Amino acid sequence: MKSYSTFFCAEFSKSSTVSCPEMRTMSWTLLLLAVLACTAAEDIGDTDVNNADAMEDASSGKLSLLERLTEMVDDIDEMSEKYRRGYKGYHPSFRGVLRGTKYLVFKYERNYDTAKEVCHGFGGILADLKTEAVHNFVEGLVRKADPKKSYWIGLNDMATEDAFVWSDGTPVNTCGYTNWAPGQPDNFFWSQDCGRLWDFANFKWDDENCASKHHFVCQIGPGPRCGGKITLTSTSLYYPFQACTYPSFAY
């Protein structure tokens, strides 16, 4: 007989983009935060306070900790609701997790700015393919989604011509990895500032007019730094299930 939690998870997933493992992970995270809050409160309560100032400091510290934990819980709730409802009607067609960072593939024909807005709406950015491992993983996802379409990624030289950067501002030439299609980037007709995975060139990189409309790939989580190391930033607090290293999988 199925447990209530299993039944609820299965029923919820029918109309949600949040997978059952993610729901369970968020539940465990909330439980852990509650335990930490109780432990912290007990520790503060056991503090030997000999004067009014010390008592006030202890009380202030307790309140500050609880406020931070409450904010984190609120952020997790907001993230869960965002996935459940999507963003302005957008829902990913394929998703995958690589080393704790989630990649979402959207099969909507949109220009670069709109694609970037949708990624931001899901709490992420256009995907940064800083390493060969990430590129190969994302390429696998887009091939499953639609191998006859191109996909926007977080690559652009809007600020300075030929100085391509990723969505997070990292210069591409500092990463030690590129995968440009032959003859690219070429800034054809001086109007190509945005990067895509080009289906015509076996999903190698190509600079394209930002007003063109393509499918796109979003990234939620820090992704690798140049050199292949995982960066744990404040984002990890908001997406705690992404801070650990998991086997990569797509669903």
Give the closest residue to 142 by CA, choosing from 85, 205, 226: 205
Whether residue 111 has pLDDT greater than 90: yes
Q: Supply the pLDDT for residue 244.
A: 29
Interval 199-215 mean pLDDT: 97
Interval 150-176 mean pLDDT: 95
State if pTM tops 0.85: no
Sort residue 79 into left (φ over 0), alpha (ψ -120 to 50) or beta.
alpha
Element at 197 (helix H, strand E): strand 194-198
pLDDT tens, position by position, 36-54: 555 544 444 444 445 556 5
Helix (H, G, I), strand (E, B) or coil at 154: strand
Between 222 and 23, whose confidence is greater? 222
Q: Supply the pLDDT for residue 29.
A: 52
Residue 214 token pair: 């393509």
Where do you find CATH 3.10.100.10 in the chain?
Answer: 94-250
Q: Supply the pLDDT for residue 83.
A: 55
For 69-103, give the secondary structure using H, E and C. Answer: HHHHHHHHHHHHHHHHHCECCECCCEEEEECCEEE
Confidence of residue 12 (pLDDT cuts 50, 70, 90): very low
* Maximum average pLDDT range among 48-52, 190-194, 217-221, 225-229: 217-221
10 Å CB burial of residue 189 (0-12, 13-18, 19+) is: exposed
Between 47 and 73, whose confidence is greater? 73
The rounded distance, in Å, linking the Cα atoms of 63 and 110 is: 45
What kind of architecture, by CATH, is found in domain 94-250?
Roll (3.10)
